[in-house]
Amino acid sequence: MKYSRIIGTGSYLPEKVLTNKDLEKMVDTTDQWIRERTGIKQRHIAAEGETTCDLAEVASRRALEAASKSVEDIDLIVLATTTPDQVFPSTACLLQSRLGNHGAPAFDVQAVCTGFIYAMGVADNFIKAGSAKCALVVGAETFSRIINWEDRGTCVLFGDGAGAVVLEASDEPGVMSTHLHADGDYANLLHVPDGVSKGYDVVQANGAFVEMRGNEVFKMAVNTLGQIVDETLEKNGLDKSDIDWLIPHQANLRIINATARKLRMPMDHVVVTVAEHGNTSAASVPLAFDAAVREGKIKRGELLLMEAFGGGFTWGSVLVKY
């Protein structure tokens, strides 16, 4: 049986840091309130003129370097983002040009915070089907561009960043299974209400910001992430104790804690970067993954569970033998 195996990781965060103390000067909030309810202390914000593709390029080059692969080795690029540089072409195609890759299929995936999980599922199936041998999978966001910085319910949550992995075909187990779900009936609980085909006014942009009904989203996230844990373990005939590391979407520390309790996993085996990064949407899982790999926490041979929940609603998981 053919598997896809992660052979390199990379990430990038913009230089500008926006702390909770900074936000106290912008909206009616406090550092204590933000920390108690989200666990977030700071987030990184893209500079003026710095795009999603800019972030993705740095993360991708670092992943390629870690994988000891050249740009020419890549025969598939899947990029997850909700904040593309342009309406078209895709940010994946813009990234492909920046990297100097020619001919490989390149496309974007849009599943908001679950985007990287979806992109991993797509790339894994390309490799299993024999349609690709070496894939670059990226999650990248400049989410600050769609935030209303006068809305204290959302502006405290989000940040910008990018993460990437290189997947290679292997006879050895790597990605064990992927599990992807969505339910569009809940779209209005977490969304940006404007869009191109609805007559989006680029100049006014009155409605082109994230809107969220926080309490309802929190409840759905906790419930669905608990279910995806059970589904993943059952599919692979595993016990909760078999998982070495949980790499969750970095949305809210309370949600992360709830998922860890579901797995009965001690927090020292849960990768948590939400305090420093905030919620970077599709970038959050690969950012956290790369941070843990480079810090020497995650070792080869360990079993990893990645999971995320996002607008759509979308949710999913990836089980990986690293």
Alpha-carbon torsion (275, 166, 319, 81), positive or negative: positive
Same domain, yes or no, for 218 and 166?
no
Same domain, yes or no, for 181 and 123?
no
Same domain, yes or no, for 131 and 82?
yes
Same domain, yes or no, for 210 and 116?
no
Same domain, yes or no, for 192 and 131?
no
Rounded mean pLDDT, 296-320: 98
Identify the active-site residue in 53, 113, 134, 155: 113
E strands in the chain: 3-12, 16-19, 42-45, 76-80, 106-109, 134-142, 160-170, 175-182, 190-191, 211-212, 245-248, 303-310, 314-321
Q: How far is CA 74 from CA 49, 84, 176, 180, 185, in A?
A: 28, 21, 22, 24, 37
DSSP assignment string, 101-168: --SS-EEEE--GGGHHHHHHHHHHHHHHTTS-SEEEEEEEEEGGGG--TT-TTTTTTB-EEEEEEEEE
Q: List pLDDT tens digits, range 165-195.
A: 999 999 999 999 999 999 999 999 999 988 8
Say what the pLDDT of residue 194 is: 86
CATH number of 145's domain? 3.40.47.10
Same domain, yes or no, for 154 and 29?
yes
How many residues in total does the chain contain? 322
In this structure, what token pair is assigned to residue 64?
Answer: 């390629």
- DSSP 3-state helix, strand, coil percentages of the chain (rounded to 5)? 40, 25, 35
Identify the active-site residue in 20, 101, 252, 279: 279
Using the predicted structure, report yes or no on whether residue 26 has a pLDDT greater than 70.
yes
For Cα atoms 147, 151, 157, give the angle at the middle one, nearest 5 degrees.
Answer: 60
Rounded mean pLDDT, 111-133: 98
The parent domain of residue 303 ranges over 176-321
Q: List pLDDT tens digits, range 237-280.
A: 999 999 999 999 999 999 999 999 988 999 999 999 999 999 99
Q: Is 151 exposed, middle or buried (0-12, 13-18, 19+ CB in 10 A)?
A: middle
Same domain, yes or no, for 167 and 92?
yes
The H helix count followed by the E strand count for the chain is 9, 13
Mark which of 149, 172, 195 sits at the end of a domain: 172
- 206 confidence band (pLDDT: 50, 70, 90): low
Rounded mean pLDDT, 36-47: 98
Same domain, yes or no, for 285 and 148?
no
pTM, whole model, 2 decimals? Answer: 0.97
Distance between CA atoms of residues 267 and 264, nearest Å: 9
Q: List pLDDT tens digits, range 100-115.
A: 999 999 999 999 999 9
Mark which of 126, 148, 172 sits at the end of a domain: 172
Using the predicted structure, report yes or no on whether residue 89 has a pLDDT greater than 90.
yes
Our answer to whether residue 113 is catalytic in this structure is yes
Identify the active-site residue in 44, 179, 249, 277: 249
Domain count, the chain: 2
Distance between CA atoms of residues 218 and 246, nearest Å: 19
Our answer to whether residue 279 is catalytic in this structure is yes
Our answer to whether residue 148 is catalytic in this structure is no
Say what the pLDDT of residue 1 is: 80
- 200 confidence band (pLDDT: 50, 70, 90): low
Same domain, yes or no, for 181 and 244?
yes
Same domain, yes or no, for 207 and 283?
yes
Mark which of 110, 141, 172 sits at the end of a domain: 172
Q: What percentage of the chain reaches a pLDDT higher than 90?
A: 94
Same domain, yes or no, for 180 and 168?
no
- 207 confidence band (pLDDT: 50, 70, 90): low
